[in-house]
Structure 1
Amino acid sequence: MNSNDPKAVVERFNYEVIRGGSRECFEALMAPDFVNWSAPNEATRGAEAMWATFASVLRPAIAGMEVHIHEQLCDGDKVTTRKSISGKHVGPLLGVEATGENISIDVIDIVRIQDGRYVEHWGVNTLAAVVARLHRQSVRAK
């Protein structure tokens, strides 16, 4: 991987951190002053809160997690990625017990890369819609 190529840094993060769960890679790719502007409040804007989302929310709930990068655009130090995170819903996901359903979360994010590391993130995703659908299905199944 070329650490000077912002797209390659984002690809590595998606495949090794999100899909692979590598804490070592996460630490290598996150700048000490990283800010996740998509976080709900200032207390959750740091790198550790982002790691917790992957390690404590998504990974326990989604077996066979895959990341599919559909498109990436690079403009200077910012990379925009359109991707999906998919797998089988096998554990609690934001209050919804495992359904065994295959799920897919669509994501568009923008990451600013500096010196081969994530320094800022903005993003939108369909996680809330996926959880709402799973909840409706689990209520109907009861």
Structure 2
Amino acid sequence: MQSIIEQNKAVVLRFNKEFIEQGNMETFKELVADNVINHSAPAGTPNGPESMIYFLQNILRTGFPDLKVEILEQVAERDLVTTRKQIKATHTGEIMGIAASGKTVAINIIDIIRLRNGKYAEHWGASNFSEIIDQIEQVE
């Protein structure tokens, strides 16, 4: 039988592979609590599940439809799972008003997830996403 820490790590891995990478909304509904708090939502915007869906489905997957998530490390303690990951993708769709550039990118991310009853309850994240936007905006 898996420990709760191993179960939590498996939930985070599944979220990354099935929802972020594949866009599976059923997985999102199964793994994210209705009252999740997204501490990484931009100031002045909703910080519930809709903010996570909007960014991942309508911004990230639109601009980078071939994205693949590579989990580099996971560390877990109590109800928290910290994941260092990299999303590799090609900019083949419009993102934030920027036309497809065909550039390959690597988005480096560190997420901290608090889980309750096997579901995302809170999310904190840091990434180099703003650098990626600067990179794809530059004309070569």
**Rounded Cα–Cα distance in structure 1 between residues aligned with 2:94 and 2:66:** 15
**Rounded Cα–Cα distance in structure 2 between residues aligned with 1:33 and 1:3:** 25
Change (3 A) 1:120 1:3: farther
CA offsets 1:69-128 (integer angstroms, 9 cap, x no match): 000000110000000111111011222211111111100010001100000000101110
- Structure 1 unaligned regions, length at least 5: none
Return structure 1 stretches of 4+ with deviation > 6 angstroms. none
Identity of aligned residues (%): 37
Residues 3, 116 of structure 1: 8 Å contact kept: no
Aligned to 1:15: 17
- Give the aligned residue type for 2:57: A
Aligned to 2:80: 78
How far 1:53 moved relative to its partner? 0.8
Residues 7, 74 of structure 1: 8 Å contact kept: yes
Aligned residues: 137
Aligned to 2:63: 61
For the residue of structure 2 that corresponds to 1:12, the secondary structure is helix
Change (3 A) 1:3 1:114: farther
Aligned to 2:102: 100
- Give the aligned residue type for 1:52: Y
TM-score, structure 2 length as denominator? 0.92
Residues 19, 67 of structure 1: 8 Å contact kept: yes
Aligned to 1:122: 124
For the residue of structure 1 that corresponds to 2:109, the secondary structure is strand
Change (3 A) 1:100 1:3: farther
- Give the aligned residue type for 1:29: L
Aligned to 1:25: 27
For the residue of structure 1 that corresponds to 2:9, the secondary structure is helix
For the residue of structure 2 that corresponds to 1:113, the secondary structure is strand
> RMSD across aligned C-alpha pairs, in angstroms?
1.5
How far 1:65 moved relative to its partner? 1.0
Aligned to 2:133: 131
**Rounded Cα–Cα distance in structure 2 between residues aligned with 1:54 and 1:76:** 27
TM-score, structure 1 length as denominator? 0.91
Change (3 A) 1:3 1:135: farther
- Give the aligned residue type for 2:14: R
